[in-house]
Amino acid sequence: MFPSARFAALPRSGFPGVIGGLLMASVACGYPRPPAHPAAEVGEKKGAEDEGFEAAQVERPGMPSDAPHGFALAPGDTLAVELVSTETQNIEGLMLDGKGMIHLPLVGDVAVGGASLSEVEQVLTQAFHRFDRLAQVRVRLTGRGGQRATVLGAVEKQGPVELHPAARLTDLIAAAGGPLSTVTGPDPVTVADVSGAVVMRDGKALPVDMQRAMLGDPKHNIYVRPGDHVYVPPSRGMNITVLGQVGNPQLFVHREGLRLTQVLALAGGVTTGGDKDDIRVIRGTLLKPKVYTASLRDVVDGNSHDVVLQPGDIIFVTDHFIEDFSEVMAAITPALSLGLTSAALAITIQR
């Protein structure tokens, strides 16, 4: 161990830091420091390019008066009809066709789609009265094939879900296994755009917000009806790209509160050839990207803040100038030494 007093005059970053600093002044000065938090940027974000995107984010008020609805037959349901008269006749397996009709002996096609079971009993009793005045009709439901809603998109199990009475939106999502998620390092991250989920009923989107439904808000966690269609879009442009002089360049799924230091650690840290003083953060739209430069050294010295990342950010760890220099050296050294050796040889031969 050296006595520390001897080196007290040496600046912390040492010789390369001094030159690096000078060099940096010419190289990286054009880029501002990134703001600590994306929210700080909101003021300047009002570019013409972003306006259309902002407008797409519509607040969904929810459905305040959402009463459960009674049972209604839907195409795909199966009925069993008991015809009670002088003798009892059982007709099983009557499935509603696409138009909500069932086919019975004597009376032919009867429209029952949308009706309750009691209503079907009344309709059938009247229909059979033409043939048998004493006939009584009893109807029961044997198959619930029509009582289905569909969940598609970024959920664990896409497909139709059989609805039990009084099922709510979250029951539907739960039956589909929940929003699709992945794990970034030790973080569970959902790759579904839950708040962008769309609930379609009779061809119209309902004004409900799945994110709030998941938290149990009854205005949004509505009763699901047969035939409802839920689409959960995957989250797009939510990646963070880490490139350059890092141990393991890769993509990460963004999540709230992800910090620059954390992403660098996940990517295996800055390599020896990387410049800790010039880490570029490229942010913004494809056409108008903004480039910032952050210094890891400043952050750990307490001279600067850490950076909270935004979806779509690209982190690029630049080469340290020494790295560039040594690369050049490595490239030209063989040539130089070859030249020198041949020169030495030539001189020796001349003599």
Residues 297-326 that bind other proteins (CB under 8 A): 299-303, 305-308, 322, 325-326
Q: Stretches 95-103, 198-206, 255-263, 281-289: which one binds other proteins (CB under 8 A)? A: 255-263
Q: Considering the rule CB under 8 A, would residue 133 count as an interface residue with other proteins?
A: no
Q: Considering the rule CB under 8 A, would residue 136 count as an interface residue with other proteins?
A: yes
Output the 3-class SS for the chain: CCCHHHHCCCCCCHHHHHHHHHHHHHHCCCCCCCCCCHHHHHHHHCCHHHHHHHHHCCCCCCCCCCCCCCCCCCCCEEEEEEEECCCEEEEEEEECCCCCEEEECCCEEEECCCCCHHHHHHHHHHHHHCCCCCCEEEEEEEEECCCEEEEEECECCCEEEECCCCCEHHHHHHHCCCECEEEECCEEEECECHHHCEEEECCEECCCCHHHHHCCCCCCCCECCCCCEEEECECCCCEEEEEECECCCEEEECCCCCEHHHHHHHCCCECCCEEEEEEEEEEECCCCEEEEEECHHHHHCCCCCCCECCCCCEEEEEECHHHHHHHHHHHHHHHHHHHHHHHHHHHHHHC
> In angstroms, what is the minimal distance from the CB of 336 to other proteins?
5
Task: Rank residues 93 and 186 by Cβ distance to other proteins and give the closer one.
Answer: 186
**Contacts of other proteins in 74-113 (CB under 8 A):** 82, 84, 88
Task: Rank residues 47 and 68 by Cβ distance to other proteins and give the closer one.
Answer: 68
The one among 111, 215, 251, 338 contacting other proteins by CB under 8 A? 215
**Contacts of other proteins in 151-180 (CB under 8 A):** 164-168, 170-171, 173-175, 177-178
Q: Considering the rule CB under 8 A, would residue 247 count as an interface residue with other proteins?
A: yes
- Count residues binding other proteins (CB under 8 A): 96
Task: Rank residues 52 and 334 by Cβ distance to other proteins and give the closer one.
Answer: 334
The one among 188, 202, 286, 287 contacting other proteins by CB under 8 A? 188
**Contacts of other proteins in 24-63 (CB under 8 A):** 36-37
Task: Rank residues 75 and 247 by Cβ distance to other proteins and give the closer one.
Answer: 247
> In angstroms, what is the minimal distance from the CB of 198 to other proteins?
19
> In angstroms, what is the minimal distance from the CB of 130 to other proteins?
20
